[in-house]
Structure 1
């Protein structure tokens, strides 16, 4: 059983199916399979009581196509201003990683989740990285969204992934209405 099957949701806010199916990254391949499964099975909402995963929602302000672009612009401005200071890519980043990160989620505490699109795996997944609050560092998250959620619910793994101030997060999904 996949971890998403353990998440109970109510009525889901579905994605823009054509946007989900037709979008292609620079490598010519679409969204990672774990993200596609999440989007089609659960839709728009809050994961583990903390993360808003942006999904394709057409022209809605919380659509992945809009939020990812806005977050990416802020990332570019931040890293340019900081002149690629290595402090802001520690502990798990490397020089240039910020150019390969495509954001797809935000926590209520200010962290961003981003795919490293320069390293697609054989299973078509992108590794997930966590940009710490106020972009104060980059931590490796997980090889896919399934493993990310599992780590969120583990008391030790969540600290390594999100920082020492975190405790295990609940295995929950709360569908959210689309409010403009």
Structure 2
């Protein structure tokens, strides 16, 4: 399992990089120790579009913000969306999901196509990483795609997105497009 983050080429000046204090506060509020590779990613890159497809939420200072892509707030929104799909019975659990698993997942991002990225807090490795799951767009499929966040990022840069997205037949670029995480 790759434990080092891939090098992403920023397309502009980096912004919205959280401090250790913001990361610690997010960890406390989520009741989840944030994985080391995620913490490194958040401090290194901040908020933005990863590999032209994935928005990874990071902790941001929301004081005075009209809106934000704060990790805790975005995670709660996506978890609510998952719970509604379970309650409404419009989710496919194949190949790796169950109702119980989906209810406990902790979302941390999404693709531009509507896929949800989440950690399973019960699947924590000795190195502090959590298994990464992708819930397909329109809640079509729950797939365990990586043993940790760094492995997930490395896989999405492989041909056909490294199998992270079930029907992908394209290769993503190692880019990072910085974006404001609040206004």
TM-score, length of structure 2 as denominator length: 0.85
Q: Which moved more, 1:115-124 or 1:12-21?
A: 12-21
Confirm or deny that 1:38 pairs with 2:41: yes
Quick one: which of 80, 105, 122 aligns to 1:73? 80
Per-residue deviation, residues 34-67 of structure 1 (Å, max 9, x unmatched)? 1000001111111110000000113252101111
1:171 counterpart residue number: 174
2:120 counterpart residue number: 116
Q: Distance in 2 between matches of 1:110 and 1:16?
A: 28
Q: Distance in 2 between matches of 1:178 and 1:155?
A: 29
**Maintained 8 Å contact 2:60/2:181:** no
Q: Distance in 1 between matches of 2:110 and 2:170?
A: 18
1:7 counterpart residue number: 8
Q: Distance in 2 between matches of 1:141 and 1:97?
A: 14
**Maintained 8 Å contact 1:125/1:144:** yes
Q: Distance in 1 between matches of 2:38 and 2:96?
A: 22
* Structure 2: unaligned runs, 5 residues or longer: none
* Structure 1: unaligned runs, 5 residues or longer: none
Q: Distance in 2 between matches of 1:117 and 1:179?
A: 27
Q: Note the C-alpha offset of 1:179.
A: 4.7
Secondary structure of the corresponding residue to residue 42 of structure 2: helix
Q: Distance in 2 between matches of 1:116 and 1:46?
A: 23
What is the CA RMSD across the aligned residues, in angstroms? 2.1
2:150 counterpart residue number: 146
Secondary structure of the corresponding residue to residue 57 of structure 1: coil
**Maintained 8 Å contact 1:159/1:167:** no
Confirm or deny that 1:93 pairs with 2:77: no
**Maintained 8 Å contact 1:51/1:107:** yes
Q: Note the C-alpha offset of 1:161.
A: 1.9
More strand, by proportion: 2
Taking a change above 3 Å as real, the CA distance of residues 14 and 165 of structure 1, as seen in their structure-2 partners, is closer
Q: Distance in 1 between matches of 2:83 and 2:99?
A: 14
Q: Which runs of 4+ in 1 moved over 6 A?
A: none
Q: Note the C-alpha offset of 1:159.
A: 5.7
